[in-house]
Amino acid sequence: MIHLKKLWRKGRFLLFFLLCFAALDTALSQICPGLFDDGWFYLNDYEVTRRDHPEEVWDRVIFGNSTVIAAYREDVGDSHYVNLGVDYGVVRDLWEMLRQGEITVGSDLVLGLNYLTLYDNFDTNPTYPWHRGPLEPYCYFQRDRLYTVVRETVKTAIGRGGGAPEYVGQGKIVYHGSLSDAALMENAQVYRENYSDLPLSDFSENLAALEQVAAYCAEEGIHLRVVWMPWNPNVEAPALAQEVRRQAEEVLAPYGVEALDLSNTFDESCFYDVGHLNYEYGAYRFMEVMDPWLLS
């Protein structure tokens, strides 16, 4: 008993410190997202979506990687889906958003897929909040931004601050015009060298996540659909893309998921590069086809 009392006396300060740190970390996680929206910080694509759509529930959502960002224009048409395209996004990202409660979908969810949306080793943005570990303190996860907040606050306090926010009105990256033939071939070569000769095992985690998303939607009464995203007809798609698609379709078949195939729908004038439609023409053509389907 005496030993336990001594241990308590020695450990209570540490316990008090840990409780205070946990309370401060929780408070920062609630306060800081609002501070990050003021234009002083570069926002990732998820944060841009959250800034532009602050509602707790998004009734209709289209998710995908940068090809969805480029193709689905929220300002065109009458379908009014939230464009949840995120750079280097994969289906596993969507599942983590749903699983962790980062987003709540109301009635409709559309997946804009190509084979890279199902690639397990695709580069990702480490600042997406679902990448934060369960025991990772928020202040550590956001250490770079919090350092900037402290630094700028101190500079302002001593009269050395100033300047205007750099990222006010920041949006997601879209693409204008079309690459030259030579540049397009260089872009296609990057795809061939990095993403054409991959084992099917490199897609297993995202195919599993696809089934989890489908099961979640079935359980929650969310209407799930898929659109296979456009591919530039001047560049031959790898055989791997078709095999990955076949496996994805097998995963979705038991759930009766409707799919729209736009992979070979548009001519080269609609594209910026291999897979991104250009903003001023290709995205309009995409919306001409997508809008009636989404509203059906």
The predicted pLDDT at position 25 comes to 46
Q: What residue ranges of the chain have pLDDT lower than 70? A: 1-38, 148-150, 152-157, 159-165
On whether residue 270 sits in a domain, the answer given is yes
On whether residue 253 sits in a domain, the answer given is yes
The predicted pLDDT at position 142 comes to 78
Measured distance CA(12)–CA(240) in Å, rounded: 59
On whether residue 13 sits in a domain, the answer given is no
The predicted pLDDT at position 21 comes to 44
On whether residue 193 sits in a domain, the answer given is yes
On whether residue 200 sits in a domain, the answer given is yes
The predicted pLDDT at position 111 comes to 98
The two beta strands, 105-113 and 258-261, are unpaired
How many independent structural domains does the chain possess?
1
Q: Please list the helix, strand and coil fractions of the chain in percent, rounded to the nearest 5, in that order.
A: 50, 10, 40
The predicted pLDDT at position 136 comes to 84
- Is the distance from CB of 278 to CB of 230 less than 8 angstroms? no
This prediction has a pTM of 0.86
At residue 83, the 3 state secondary structure works out as strand
On whether residue 55 sits in a domain, the answer given is yes
- CATH at 236: 3.40.50.1110
The predicted pLDDT at position 141 comes to 78
On whether residue 64 sits in a domain, the answer given is yes
On whether residue 100 sits in a domain, the answer given is yes
Residue type for 89, please? Answer: G
Range of the domain at 195: 48-137+170-295
Measured distance CA(123)–CA(120) in Å, rounded: 9
